[in-house]
Amino acid sequence: MRPPHDRLSSEQRRGDPGTRDLVLEHVTYVNGRTLLDDVSVAFPAGRVTALSGPSGSGKTTLLSIAGGLLEPTSGTAELAGREMWTGSGDPRQEVAFVLQVYGLVPILSARENVSIALRARGTAPADADEAAEAALARFGIADLGERQVEELSGGQMQRVACARGFVVGAEVLLADEPTSELDEGNRSVVLAELREEAARGAVVVVATHDPAVVEACDLHIALDEGRVVR
Ligand SMILES: Nc1ncnc2c1ncn2[C@@H]1O[C@H](COP(=O)(O)OP(=O)(O)OP(=O)(O)O)[C@@H](O)[C@H]1O
Ligand SMILES: [Mg+2]
């Protein structure tokens, strides 16, 4: 028998195993002061959700909790009923990040930086390298694979960071301002690739200041001073 509508939506909010949505309920994060205040949001699988808000409004903090890098002071972040916080700050295998600060290893090549994301997940080195080449190509930087990251421009590094986040085909992709250093053409490429990830069923969240990026997403959540304002 079909459960009543209110029960269904309540189960979805709780992230029951039938849904692959990423669900945050009453998340508060206090570090000296309150950085997130009672945030309840659902990031659906198969959709690109924009997370906007002024600088300092809590976007990076929210993505960090959503991806299991930070433990919420109270409240929960769950994927299919499983807590994202694993107790160590190591994210689950299901999660990939494009970090705002890139997090690349400067003395490794662009290809090695992408490849290590897969090797860390157990992919054989040759296969990881091949996938890394393909991921760099998605962002128009296949020709930079051999180049050391410290010899790249800011926008090129940002695209390597995108390649590293996208290459793993994760169930949850959390991209923190992935287009902030890019020209319009490359921004369009990243947006198209974000859509591609959602099309294969991933939860995709993109933190951004850019109205054009918000416009291109399926859903929009806005933060201000640690609270959801839309
Ligand atoms: N480790 C920390 N300890 C204490 N406060 C922090 C810490 N990290 C961030 N903050 C503060 O938390 C607030 C939210 O920061 P956060 O980085 O989440 O904002 P943001 O919306 O991502 O901003 P931006 O658009 O500049 O990237 C800011 O006021 C920031 O100064
Ligand atoms: Mg940020």
Residue nearest to atom 12 of ligand 1 (CA): 35
Question: Measured between alpha carbons, how far is 176 from 151 in angstroms, rounded to an integer?
Answer: 23
Residue 177 CA, ligand 2 centroid: distance in Å: 7
- Pick the ligand that lies closest to the CA of residue 69: 1
3-class secondary structure, 220: strand
With a Cβ cut-off of 6 Å, ligand 1 is lined by 31-32, 35, 53, 55-61, 100
Residue of the nearest CA to atom 29 in ligand 1?
56
Please report which helix (H) or strand (E) contains residue 36, including its range: strand 33-43
Query: Are 195 and 39 spatial neighbours (Cβ–Cβ below 8 Å)?
Result: no
Contact 124, 133 (CB under 8 A): no
Q: Which ligand is nearest to the CA of 58?
A: 1
Judge contact between 158 and 190, C-beta under 8 A.
Answer: no
Q: Kindly report the pTM of this predicted structure.
A: 0.92
> pLDDT tens track of the chain, all 230 residues?
333 333 334 444 444 445 799 999 999 999 999 999 999 999 999 999 999 999 999 999 999 999 999 999 999 999 999 999 999 999 999 999 999 999 999 999 999 999 999 999 999 999 999 999 999 999 999 999 999 999 999 999 999 999 999 999 999 999 999 999 999 999 999 999 999 999 999 999 999 999 999 999 999 999 999 999 98
Report which protein residue has its CA nearest ligand 1's atom 24: 55
Alpha-carbon distance of 103 to 169, in angstroms, equals 19
